Chains A and B, each alone.
Chain A
Amino acid sequence: MNSFVEITNEFTQSVEQSTELNFQSFLFENDFKAVLPELFLVLASLFLLLYGVVWTTSASTGYPLLLRNVNWLALLTFVLTAIIATNNPIGHGVFFYHTFLLDDVTFFFKMLVVIGALSSLLISMDYLERESINGFEFALLLLLSTSSMLFLISAADFISMYLAIELQSLCFYVLAAFKRDSEFSTEAGLKYFLLGVFSSGLLLFGCSLIYGFTGAIEFSELSKIFASLATSGEVYSDKLDLNPLSVYGQEENISSLLSTSSWRGCELGMIFLIIGFLFKLTAVPFHMWAPDVYEGAPTAVTAFFSITPKPALLVVFVRLLYQSFYDFMIEWQTFIIFCSVASMFLGSFAGLAQHRIKRLLAYSSIGHVGYLLISLCCGTLEGLQGLAIYLVIYIVVTINIFAVIMTPLRRTSHSAQQHQGVERIKYTTDLAMLAKGNPLLAATLTVAVFSLAGIPPLAGFYGKAFLFWAALSSSQYLLALVGILTSAISCFYYIRVVKIMYFEAPQNWLSFSRMSKESSLVLALTTFFIVALMAYPYPLYVASHKVALALSM
């Protein structure tokens, strides 16, 4: 009898052990498949780091620069990452103890980020060589920040979100100060670093407030907590009745997870979180770093800054607002409406006074962030769909414009007809008579700029129209009105660029030198997209609808 008990005990123990072992060995089995694109990107960049540093410091090969080589390998890595992401068998789910999620949204935005990073590297390769920004680390920082953006897109809780944002920002600080012998670049790096760190601090404080008041860091948990509170009716009774006793009277039959003071605390945390995000997105009251950083950083870096991070940040922002904080909508909506209106106004009015082209583009991007924020205020499916459509179009147009701006030009002094070396475009007047020197390039830039302004047959008009339609259909008349007004105002400076290209005689004659093959390819593709989107918008429409559906769930 005794031995029988021992045997059964042993048997159960061995079963427990084996199940434990099985559990351990199968833990995360599928999770690593889910992060395969990110894993590949990180491993490839580590490999490239070793490869680059070993070869560039080897005396036997004569210290090769490897700039072009590593850039092409980085491009290959981006392409392979995109291929892996498309062929990943796991498309939906939550992984790694609720830190990482995959759905239709993540796939769409990841492809957007990878393609944006790829094309921004493609258009800046020639520029990097010409400016002799010789560090092969440039491409590696691009790879690492892209991988962090991919992690950011699928972040499912505050910790993974914050860590991804920090990895991305850290790469960006280094990139902004990448040209060490340029004062402007150093200043841009420092400014970006200080303000970026400040905004990250705000973000983190918001996260810790919310964690402190709710005890949850996962986005889905937060949504459950806030929803349970909102349906219990406590908050609304608190708002409607000024008499606190009535709240206390109700409290007995309400099984709510949060008290009213915690609700206030969560609101405060949410405001800090939103401010942190708006800092990163350069929305207006928090935009002051953007023009200086865009102006000071090397143009290749500016292109990367303005093309790639916006989708990654926006998708997490939308996920937070629409999933975790949907029950706070009345609070954050007013805040974001204010920021959106202010961004649109500042983007259009401050852009009028700019003559430096990168500054102009910085203000223009601030204005476009304002338009993007319109879609967040709607709270409807159409709004989110408009966000996705507008983001895609905006990124394509930005790639196009930066491909043109990074084209080298030769300045010829007016008196002595001699070349004064190859320069880069600084002022809008540098584009003068581009239409005579290189009519095709002028036409391309005209198309891109008109698309930013929202002139009818081009893609930008489609995006803006969709946004304003979404705003109108959710009764955001003020936003639609301001959006239309400011886009009419900003037409002025967009059209001025076109006027300079076609009708203005320059003081010093400039000629654009030959564009690199990669840039011209990207330019042709993006221009084709801008022009031809009107003819066949269905794929984008369907994909963005899918994104909006998945985001609003």
Chain B
Amino acid sequence: MVEYLAIFIYFLIATGLAMILLGVSFIAASRKPDPEKISAYECGFDPFDDARSRFDVQFYLVAILFIIFDLEVTFLFPWALVLNRVGLFGFWSMMAFLLILTIGFVYEWRKGALDWS
């Protein structure tokens, strides 16, 4: 556990440094806001319509797929570390797991979940 102390200190220093950088520009730079400056930037025009727009389900699909394959990787990590201990049985168990996931992947592929047209 003790090796995490350095990372924790590193994290603290990084946060502090970021605060300092922000703070310096906050103190040193000149700030004179007016309505034109603080309005939303839309290529020089005024915004045409409501900022709300229909959410594309593709983003959601990608997020879900990421979660699924992320989980797959978390299962692969311990397997990869102890592969010489678990032998052929462990190897084939993971292959079965991967096969099931691959079938799911083929399903997504054919369904067009990965198409961005």
What CA separation (Å) do A24 and B103 show in the bound complex? 28
* Any A CB within 8 A of the CB of B110: yes
> Which of A50-58, A106-114, A457-465 participates in binding chain B?
A50-58
Q: How far is the CA of A413 from the CA of B13 in the complex (A)?
A: 78
Are A53 and B107 in touch, CB under 8 angstroms? Answer: yes
Chain B interface residue count, CB cutoff 8 Å, equals: 10
Instruction: Determine if B100 and A27 form an interchain contact, defined as CB atoms under 8 angstroms apart.
Output: no
A171 → chain B, closest Cβ, in Å? Answer: 14
Contact, CB under 8 Å: A54 / B100: no
The reply on B35 being an interface residue by CB < 8 A is no
Is B114 interfacial (CB-CB < 8 Å)?
A: no
Chain B interface residues (CB < 8 Å from chain A): 87-89, 100, 103, 106-107, 110-112
Residues of chain B within 8 A (CB-CB) of A54 are 106, 110
Besides A46-B103, A50-B106, A57-B112, 8 other A-B contacts (C-beta < 8 A): A24-B87, A24-B88, A24-B89, A49-B103, A50-B103, A53-B107, A53-B110, A53-B111
Chain A residues with CB under 8 A of B88? 24
Q: Footprint of B on A, CB under 8 Å? A: 24, 27-28, 46, 49-50, 53-54, 57
- Judge whether B89 and A27 touch: CB under 8 Å: yes
Choose among B88, B103, B107, B111 the residue with the greatest number of A CB atoms under 10 Å from its CB.
B107
- Complex CA gap A50/B89 in Å reads 26
For A140, give the chain B residue with the smallest CB separation: B107
Give the Cβ gap from B75 to chain A, nearest Cβ, in Å: 14
A–B complex contacts, Cβ < 8 Å, 21 sampled: A24-B87, A24-B88, A24-B89, A27-B89, A28-B89, A46-B100, A46-B103, A49-B103, A49-B107, A50-B103, A50-B106, A50-B107, A53-B106, A53-B107, A53-B110, A53-B111, A54-B106, A54-B110, A57-B110, A57-B111, A57-B112
Residues of A contacting B89 in the complex (Cβ-Cβ under 8 angstroms): 24, 27-28
Quote the shortest CB–CB distance from A434 to chain B (angstroms): 42
Nearest residue, chain A, Cβ from B99: A46
In angstroms, Cα B105 to Cα A53, docked, is 11
The complex places the Cα of A46 from the Cα of B100 at a distance, in Å, of: 8
Q: Could you tell me the distance between the alpha carbons of A28 and B87 in the complex, rounded to whole angstroms?
A: 14
Question: Separation in Å of the B30 CB from the closest CB of chain A?
Answer: 52
* Nearest CB of chain A from residue B56's CB, rounded to whole Å: 17
Which residues of B have CB within 8 Å of A53? 106-107, 110-111
B108 to nearest A CB, angstroms?
9
In whole Å, how far is B82's beta carbon from the nearest beta carbon of chain A?
Answer: 15
CB distance from B14 to the nearest CB of A (A): 36
* A28 contact set on B, CB distance < 8 A: 89
The docked-state distance in angstroms from the alpha carbon of A269 to that of B112 is 45
Instruction: Please name the residue on chain B nearest to A137 by beta carbon.
Output: B107
